[in-house]
Structure 1
């Protein structure tokens, strides 16, 4: 129920000293849109993405057993994930080839993101299972989040808002363009 004292005549709210950055695209994430039901591949976004055009799917690069894709709900600009094509949930269940290429793609992605955005560091990791925070636990994916000195400023801490200075499609184009310009071996 809405507090009538907090709602203006227009139904939007009463003026206050706070500024707001609207991010309506986040509602799909909050509501769990496109999350798979159970452990089956039908409906899994990570299984569906490779069948789409790279630009539409935000795929940065494709390998033999894995691909790199921008996170639709990034923590920082350039936040991408390395995802096996095969629908597999548990890291120990990856094949030797998948494990190798996942590591090589992660190393290569670090070099690409550094070249494009001068990232100072990275958070890299896999949230293994729902209890560990995996949003899509049924399909393993490794996050690569670029970091810069001072990137955790007052906006997310006080304002609970993340500022992303570039559209995802533009970020994908930059990273995809730089991907092929770097050596395919570990950087």
Structure 2
């Protein structure tokens, strides 16, 4: 694997880490303010303006405006005062602030309700722009627009391609896609009342 044409084995571990930003399903937050939890994403000092710009790109401002103390609100140990979607948006703001060229998203939307997922997906789109992104996901809506999708089964890559080419191949990806989206479409259809005449 290469970073800007250089083999990653030539990098020191600390240097390699400086090129990466990670957003996982489980976001670790501190019993501190929203502002300081976002600032944690970048080594060294960040200006308030940089932190607020990252927060805006991650849609943190959508919920902070509803809180009395705004960005100075203490969120409790592990962010207990926040919803799952709010925690994820803080994690995304951290990654935006870090501004690393390589992004790893590990099940970043798996525990979210549909409304939160929409905001987080939009924030992830902002984050992934102009970055090499590795997205690990079971929820296929997260990877639908990827340049290349690798489908793994039992630890092995069994398919590779774009969303459209994988749907056309009648393989494992198509099977999972149909399970997720056709079942969802069926659930969303209006079912007539069985007693209706």
Please report the TM-score for the alignment, with normalisation by the length of structure 1.
Answer: 0.24
Please report the TM-score for the alignment, with normalisation by the length of structure 2.
Answer: 0.23
Q: Which has the higher contact order (CA 8 A, sep 6+)?
A: 1
